[in-house]
Structure 1
Amino acid sequence: MVFMSHRTRPPSPPPEPVRRVEAGPWAIELLPGAAYSARYVASQSAIGFAYDSQRGLHAIGSDRVLPFDAIPNGLAFVPAGCDVLSESPRGGEYLRVVRTDGVALVGDRAFNNRIDPQATLLALRIRSALLQGSVEEDWEAWAFALAERTTGNETASPPTHGSITGSRMRLLDEFIDAGLDGPLGVPAMAQLLGLSEGYFMRAFKNATGKSPHSYLIDRRLAKARALMQDCAATLTEIAYRCGFNSQAHMATVFKQRLGVSPAQLRKSSRFGECPRLDTLGIDCEKRS
């Protein structure tokens, strides 16, 4: 389960810098995938969006610490006053949106793993703009629209046989990460879970809001971004290690999915740059 908290930073720096923008009464942060450990009482309600699957331990509004699994494309909300403990050894890329003028967001119940197609489109658009360092964007309208997606009384349905549960998502992640440099595909992923290809594709889309192929591309991108920060390999070497056909293929996917080229992202990550974005002047707060 993943919400937001005052983040205790691990000794090593995150793969990429935190990207932040302030727009009217809203603070918007794109947090890189990194280990975290947090315990706090929320001083203000906040919206979160998990781009990646991630897992760890948490206690939300309770003293009982339990394992959590967060699915990709999961919308989250934590109300003001909620007692939160959360930690993850790896984390995942995460969007956090907070209203800073003291006006409370609607909702008094914490939730996560809500799949909302409109929220997903908004979160992807916000991430692309943050990675590009865009200035002339309608940040305030995007934040307000995302806040509207947290209203309502939707509850998660109990998992059905063959559905993509947290444990199945974990198994898939391990399988994909181990074979990213090879020709992974739906048949292999479906076989891993003992499901037919058709059933697997439907179940995966219902659980995460994206197709297995789209998720596989996202995992390739995530590994490439980590390698660009953590090693001195060339972009061509990184492309092959992540299963892309060539550096040009990787660059095309980067532009399509993230709105920036690998070279641009590598440069900003190495120097901790966040071009033309206003910083919030507060400690990074995150997840849980």
Structure 2
Amino acid sequence: MDLEDVARLRRARDTMDRFYAQPLDVPALAKAALMSPGHFSRSFRAAYGETPYSYLMTRRIERAKALLRRGDLSVTEVCFEVGCTSLGSFSSRFTELVGESPSAYRARSHGARGFVPACVEKVVTRPGGRRGKAVSSGEAPGGASP
């Protein structure tokens, strides 16, 4: 992969990070990256270790977790707020990545655990965690206590 392709993939990833709540699909992202959809998907996976769809859903679930912790929106409202159009698909993917349903996550206490820098919080609460396992918001990567 040449540097030009890497720059295009980074722009597509940045687009997903910024506009995760918008309807984004592989053909549109590929067009923006000046690649065919197939080449874009293969290149993205090679560069980032996951498909564009998986990356986008991880961003959406990260944002959904923050909205659910706030507690002022229903699961359905959160689903649509983060750009998902199917509550069933959102709930299934959330459960797969986080290890519990959005409703259970929302109902669980997320009380203050003391000050945690945002960069640490993002790593610790990222859906999928290390080695593809869900990392709950009360655990540090590797099983150590915060």
**TM-score calculated relative to the size of structure 2:** 0.65
Between the aligned partners of 1:160 and 1:269, the Cα distance in structure 2 is: 47
CA distance 1:228–1:274, change in 2 (3 Å): same
What residue number does 1:69 align with? none
Q: Once superposed, what is the RMSD of the aligned Cα atoms?
A: 2.8
**Is 1:163 aligned with 2:2?**
no
Contact kept, 8 Å, 1:228 with 1:266, in 2: the verdict is yes
What residue number does 1:216 align with? 56
Question: Mapping of 1:213-252 within 5 angstroms?
Answer: 213-230=53-70, 232-252=72-92
Between the aligned partners of 1:203 and 1:279, the Cα distance in structure 2 is: 35
Q: Which runs of 5+ in 1 are unaligned?
A: 1-158
Question: Mapping of 1:161-200 within 5 angstroms?
Answer: 161-165=3-7, 168-169=9-10, 171-200=11-40
Between the aligned partners of 2:109 and 2:47, the Cα distance in structure 1 is: 32
Contact kept, 8 Å, 2:94 with 2:100, in 1: the verdict is yes
Q: How many residues align?
A: 119
| TM-superposition CA deviations, 1:123-153 (whole Å, max 9, x none) | xxxxxxxxxxxxxxxxxxxxxxxxxxxxxxx
What residue number does 2:111 align with? 271
| TM-superposition CA deviations, 1:232-267 (whole Å, max 9, x none) | 121111101112224333211112223211122233
Between the aligned partners of 1:279 and 1:232, the Cα distance in structure 2 is: 31
Question: Mapping of 1:1-288 within 5 angstroms?
Answer: 160-165=2-7, 168-169=9-10, 171-230=11-70, 232-268=72-108, 270-271=110-111, 274=138, 280=145, 284=146
Following TM superposition, by how much is the alpha carbon of 1:187 offset from its aligned partner in structure 2, in angstroms?
Answer: 0.9
Between the aligned partners of 2:15 and 2:62, the Cα distance in structure 1 is: 15
Between the aligned partners of 1:209 and 1:174, the Cα distance in structure 2 is: 16
Contact kept, 8 Å, 1:201 with 1:212, in 2: the verdict is yes
Contact kept, 8 Å, 1:268 with 1:274, in 2: the verdict is no
Between the aligned partners of 2:53 and 2:23, the Cα distance in structure 1 is: 12
What residue number does 2:131 align with? none
What residue number does 1:26 align with? none
Following TM superposition, by how much is the alpha carbon of 1:279 offset from its aligned partner in structure 2, in angstroms?
Answer: 6.3
CA distance 1:209–1:248, change in 2 (3 Å): same
Q: Return the structure number with greater helix share.
A: 2
Q: Give the structure, 1 or 2, with the largest relative contact order (CA under 8 Å, sep 6 or more).
A: 1
